[in-house]
């Protein structure tokens, strides 16, 4: 087997339980502690990167968006694009943030909209997105309620006694009008 740094069980790496064996840990390999057991290889943690995952530092985000880092700081202060923060208060931008930075730049440069107008546009777009999500949620809820109602209706129909004949209202034979006059 050839050494591969990307292989989680690299035979040449003593920390991965290769031929050299794992290094001594707490109480491992010391006399009187029994035989050394090789460590089990654990799978690396699975990170799911979405467009909302904050991964870009401010310099990378500035380069990707075509803006100066100071402009990104100003947009953050104004509330146009608010990146996530690390424990040390550093900014981390997501792909969605970078897309929003590009949109702010386009509206400002190409359309000539001031930053207050851009902020209002972003607020309205976020409101529309939230309302569309709520509509979808309500439509799903309505569909579930309609399905439950149909199931209950079917259960009621299934419980009908079959020896009863459903009532059919009489069909009128004539179209004559009858006037009722009470006696006094």
Residue 59 to residues 73, 75, 88, Cα–Cα distance (Å): 11, 14, 16
**pTM above the 0.75 mark?**
no
Two structure tokens written together for 54? 């904050």
CATH architecture of 58-114: Orthogonal Bundle (1.10)
Taking residue 36's Cβ as centre, other Cβ atoms within 10 Å add up to 14
pLDDT-derived band at 179 (thresholds 50, 70, 90) equals confident
pLDDT-derived band at 134 (thresholds 50, 70, 90) equals very high
Two structure tokens written together for 97? 């943030």
> Positive or negative CA dihedral for 21, 27, 29, 35?
negative
Sorted by where each begins, the domain ranges of the chain are 58-114
Taking residue 97's Cβ as centre, other Cβ atoms within 10 Å add up to 25
Under 8 Å between Cβ of 15 and 9: no
Calculate the average pLDDT of the chain. 79
């Amino acid at each position: 087997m050839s050494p591969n740094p990307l292989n989680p069980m690299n035979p040449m790496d003593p920390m991965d339980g290769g031929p050299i064996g794992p290094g001594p840990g707490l109480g491992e390999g010391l006399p009187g502690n029994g035989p050394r057991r090789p460590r089990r290889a654990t799978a690396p943690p699975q990170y799911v990167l979405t467009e909302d995952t904050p991964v870009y530092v401010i310099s990378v985000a500035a380069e990707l968006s075509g803006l100066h880092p100071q402009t990104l700081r100003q947009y953050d202060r104004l509330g146009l694009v608010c990146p996530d923060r690390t424990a040390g208060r550093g900014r981390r931008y997501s792909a969605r943030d970078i897309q929003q930075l590009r949109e702010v730049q386009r509206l400002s440069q190409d359309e000539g909209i001031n930053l207050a107008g851009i902020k209002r546009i972003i607020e309205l777009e976020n409101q529309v997105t939230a309302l569309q999500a709520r509509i979808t949620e309500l439509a799903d809820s309505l569909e579930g309620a309609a399905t439950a109602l149909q199931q209950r209706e079917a259960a009621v129909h299934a419980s009908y006694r079959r020896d009863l004949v459903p009532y059919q209202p009489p069909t009128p034979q004539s179209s004559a009008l009858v006037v009722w006059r009470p006696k006094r």
